[in-house]
Amino acid sequence: MPLTDTAIRVVKPAAKPFKLADERSLYLLITPAGGKLWRMDYRFEDKRKTLALGSYPDVNLKQARDRRDEARRQLADGIDPMSKRQEAKATRRAESINNFEAVAREWYKKQCSRWSKSHSTDVLRRLEVNLFKPLGGRPIAKIDAPELLKAIEVIENRGAHELAHRVLQVAGQVFRYGIVTSRCSRDPSADLKGALTPVQKTHQAAVKPEEMGDLIQAINRYDQVGTLQTKLAFSCCA
């Protein structure tokens, strides 16, 4: 007879493991410690195998049957469900160590020793504040230009246009590092050329003719209070 939720709830452990059979190769393995483990026996290429489908109550009866049915569909297609699961697990692991944050931190660690302390702090902060939340957990190879642009536009919407350009530049360096370390195949930041609001550069105001006298006097006074390096610079320009 098929299993019922009531039968599963009330079953007690014994001195040795035993099985409660359901249907179509699904059963519940009861351990001496009281564990209730969903299992499915099957054959693939003339080899007997057992597929773990979770534990009760985390996986209820309906969910266990759904997982069994999916495994049987894979078998019908000539796929070993255990190998399929192992491949999926390996893919998830590879993606976790090749996500944007992992690659960015690896790149940062290699580069920061040649930067000043202030620049090193700025770069890491730009990554942590602006990119790790929207992109950090994403596999770097799957991030495309629209997704990157969406993250950068959040910065632009704050009115921080210059910062947006700087963050995009840092992102490009991370992607290029990902390319040379075989974690991704292209740099989507290159596709965003012209997509950001241009930064309006301002120039220092020119000295007006009527202000020249005051400037010369200020330069002369600086000889008494200024630093040696700046004094030398003034003398070179004189």
In terms of residue numbers, what domain contains 28?
5-96
CATH number of the domain to which 114 belongs: 1.10.150.130
If one counts the domains in the chain, the total is: 2
CA dihedral 96, 100, 103, 106 (to 10 degrees): -110
Examine residue 31 and state whether it is found in any structural domain, yes or no.
Answer: yes
Q: Is residue 220 assigned to a domain?
A: no
Among 69-73, 91-95, 175-179, where is mean pLDDT lowest? 91-95
Higher per-residue confidence, 217 vs 83 = 83
How far apart are alpha carbons 231 and 217 in whole angstroms?
14
Query: Six-digit token pair at 20?
Result: 């409660």
- Asked if the structure places residue 145 within a domain, the reply is yes
pLDDT of residue 90: 81
**Are 118 and 174 within one domain?**
yes
Q: Does some domain include residue 23?
A: yes
- The verdict on residue 66 lying in a domain is yes
pLDDT band, very low/low/confident/very high, at 9 (cuts 50, 70, 90): very high
Domain match, 80 and 139 both? no
Domain boundary among 36, 63, 96: 96
Q: What is the pLDDT of residues 172-187, one digit of tens each?
A: 999 999 999 999 999 9
Nearest to residue 51, comparing CAs of 62, 38, 66, 60?
A: 38
Residue ending a domain, choose from 53, 81, 96: 96
